[in-house]
Chain A
Amino acid sequence: KDKKVAILFSEWCQMCDHLSASDVAYSRFVTQLQQDGLLNGDDISERFFRILTELAVTHSLVSEQIVAPGGSSQQSPQLPQISYFSIDSYAKLVVMMLKYSPLEISSNKGNILSKILSVTVRTIQKEAEEKKASFNPRPYFRLFINWLYDLTTSDAHHEFQVLSAFANAFHLLQPLRVPAWSFAWLELVSHRSFMPKLLTCNLQKGWPLFQRLLVDLFKFMEPYLRNAEIPDPVNILYKGTMRVLLVLLHDFPEFLCDYHFSFCDVIPASCIQMRNVILSAFPRNMRLPDPSTPNLKIDLLAEISIAPRIMSDVDSALKSKQLKTEVDEYLKRPEGSSFLSDLNKKLLMPQNEAAVAGMHYNVPLINSLVLYVGIQAVQQLQLNKAIASASVQQINHTPLMDIFQIETATEMFKNLVTSLDTEGRYLLLNAIANQLRYPNNHTHYFSFIILYLFAEATQEIVQEQITRVLLERLIVNRPHPWGLLVTFIELIKNPRYNFWNRPFTHCAPEMERLFESVSRSCA
């Protein structure tokens, strides 16, 4: 059977070699394959495409050895030329098959394509496992590039089916699964024939698929980006990721806005600029007032009372640790609750997990707790506002206990800020600062909370750490989120916080200069 497939493939390549070959010839060839029972999507088909894939790649690599200067079979030091004729021919066969196969096949084009892609995915995974450091990603990169060019421009009707088939294949080939394919993977995922189409087709139906791919990438880089010293290959991958994020920030800011929460879960706290890029995104139709406008009244901005759209699953981490019910109970009935007494310990990772993760605290759990409680409080604030302007009998129908929710939420933040250790408090303040974005009611609420915690702090270390969390986000290269800037400006300008008289602002000359320069550039 392998030999038969090889003969078929060589016939096909000869046809491709004659540039004048017409589509009629191509469609006749495809019909013949169909009649030979090779395109039914069954095991025979899968074996057929697996053999074709291996033939196409082997021939391209063979030419790589032949072409390498000096004809030596081992790879020459500089990158040898690879002849992609066999890869391009195989890619074209798949395109022609999808284009000319009989109706019953082409109607579920996405299904057939998924089968072919799953054969390709398994071939890559297998070869990467076997060849390890000598795995060559480029022939497979070429194969996908051909398909992205030819299959994503065909017809709008199948477009989403095709794009989601690729998105699922890329998810299965993510860097954590095939690390030797990481660079090819990011170039394909961000390719202009894939990323923008997945983000613009079918009214954002592709957004969850692309969000999953970005999270795949962040998860892979996370362990290496935590440390100050980043190995060169990771640095190249990091810079490549920053380019992709800048394209998203410029062309699809709403996508970054809506999924900021899940991205912050997987971006290490030390990747301040990368996180700032995501948090700086704001809807394209929004005009942001200059944060340094004198006497800027952010509570008078129309957008400040509107809730941001959050597509990430905010309370899943809370639920996974069975904390959500306790939080809801505490917010409704705080009197006599012991919820706060050991909350800080509940945020720690279990010993065994902490050792593997290299973290003491469960960052996604802290992020989830902060945003979930903030959302409840904001909703209550809006309800209170509605009540304030509502009639008397409506007020009587509002359960009194809900009214206390605001103070209860604030009490929880205050309690955590004093009960957590330095690391835990840093992660809590980070989770709050991650909500300081474009004008919306979360930015408004969390800006109030972090300034309130500064004003109410009884230990200077808390004020110092709040300042640190804000400052370290401001001293990195731009962009800086709007909500972060307005909060810091409020902190240093409003006499209520007595910022400049805090001893730590004068703890050393260079610190004094740093505060001066940041406040000058901000305000």
Chain B
Amino acid sequence: DLGAIGDNLTGTSASSGHDQLYNLQMLEAAFHRLPQPKDSERAKNYVPRHPAVTPASYPQIQAPIVSNPTFWERIGSDTLATDMLFFAFYYQQNTYQQYLAARELKKQSWRFHRRYNTWFQRHVEPQVTTDEYERGSYVYFDFHVTEDGSGWCQRIKNDFTFEYNYLE
């Protein structure tokens, strides 16, 4: 009777009255209606912005792997891989995919310019670096239109000033 479990705390149920007993009964009832995992899950009804009709043999829903962080972490940094990152970033907007692609691009030293909505990567160490900006040659991923058509490609911009207040 010198410590926690013992008679040094007088019995409570006798003295607690209706509310504790009532609460326990309600808790018992709630116990049989525990929230289920599916009560928190939301169907990921992915609605393509510009749905294209494809043959039924094509996958009609997104492969789950595109929402798996490990997939994006292992994608690599060769041109094809980087293009996939840019594809996810620009064409799967407001999805977990876009979030993961942006995170991976940053890991590969790309930086998002909020004014040009374009990702830049230092081609060489910048010639000038101040608190407000850096200037030098950068690779950037851009959509360009020329007489022989249009498309995405990586280009080099020399003598570019990246002002840090545009850095996301």
Q: Do A and B bind each other?
A: yes
List residues of A whose CB falls within 8 A of some B CB: 19-20, 79, 82, 84, 88, 128, 132-138, 141-142, 145-146, 149, 175-176, 179-184, 187, 191, 220, 223-224, 226-228, 231-234, 236-237, 268-270, 272, 354-360, 422-423, 426, 461, 464-465, 468-469, 472
**Main SS at interface, chain B:** loop
Residues of B within 8 A of A223 (CB): 12, 16, 20
Interface residues of B in 19-38 (CB under 8 A from A): 20, 22-31, 33-36
Given contacts A183-B34, A269-B9, contact A231 B29 (CB under 8 A): no
Contact of B45 with A133 in the complex, beta carbons under 8 Å? no
Contact of A133 with B29 in the complex, beta carbons under 8 Å? yes
**Main SS at interface, chain A:** helix
Residues of B within 8 A of A472 (CB): 3-4
Bound Cα distance from A225 to B105, whole angstroms: 51
Residues of B within 8 A of A359 (CB): 9-10
| B11 (CB) vs chain A CBs: closest residue | A358
Contact of B33 with A227 in the complex, beta carbons under 8 Å? no
Contact of B31 with A183 in the complex, beta carbons under 8 Å? yes
Q: A357 to nearest B CB, angstroms?
A: 8
Contact of B30 with A180 in the complex, beta carbons under 8 Å? yes
Contact of B15 with A179 in the complex, beta carbons under 8 Å? no
Contact of B24 with A234 in the complex, beta carbons under 8 Å? yes
Contact of B28 with A182 in the complex, beta carbons under 8 Å? no
Most buried by B among A133, A179, A223, A359: A179
Contact of A360 with B10 in the complex, beta carbons under 8 Å? yes
Quick check: is B145 within 8 A (CB to CB) of the other chain? Answer: no
List residues of B whose CB falls within 8 A of some A CB: 1-5, 8-12, 15-17, 20, 22-31, 33-36, 39-40, 42, 45, 47, 51
State which of A226, A233, A269, A426 has its C-beta within 8 Å of the C-beta of B31. Answer: A233
Bound Cα distance from A293 to B47, whole angstroms: 61
State which of A141, A232, A358, A465 has its C-beta within 8 Å of the C-beta of B16. Answer: A358
Given contacts A269-B9, A358-B15, contact A426 B24 (CB under 8 A): no
Given contacts A141-B39, A220-B23, contact A356 B15 (CB under 8 A): yes
Contact of A469 with B23 in the complex, beta carbons under 8 Å? no
Contact of B26 with A180 in the complex, beta carbons under 8 Å? yes
State which of A191, A224, A233, A360 has its C-beta within 8 Å of the C-beta of B30. Answer: A233
Given contacts A133-B29, A145-B39, A180-B29, contact A233 B15 (CB under 8 A): no
Contact of A423 with B29 in the complex, beta carbons under 8 Å? no
9 new A-B contacts, CB < 8 A, other than A146-B42, A270-B9, are: A88-B42, A137-B33, A142-B39, A145-B39, A184-B35, A223-B20, A358-B11, A426-B2, A464-B2
Closest 4 CB pairs of A and B: A358-B12, A179-B26, A233-B31, A133-B29
27 cross-chain CB contacts under 8 A: A19-B45, A20-B47, A79-B33, A82-B39, A133-B29, A135-B26, A135-B29, A136-B33, A175-B23, A181-B30, A182-B30, A187-B40, A223-B12, A223-B16, A227-B11, A228-B5, A232-B31, A233-B24, A237-B27, A270-B4, A358-B11, A358-B16, A359-B10, A422-B1, A423-B9, A465-B3, A472-B3
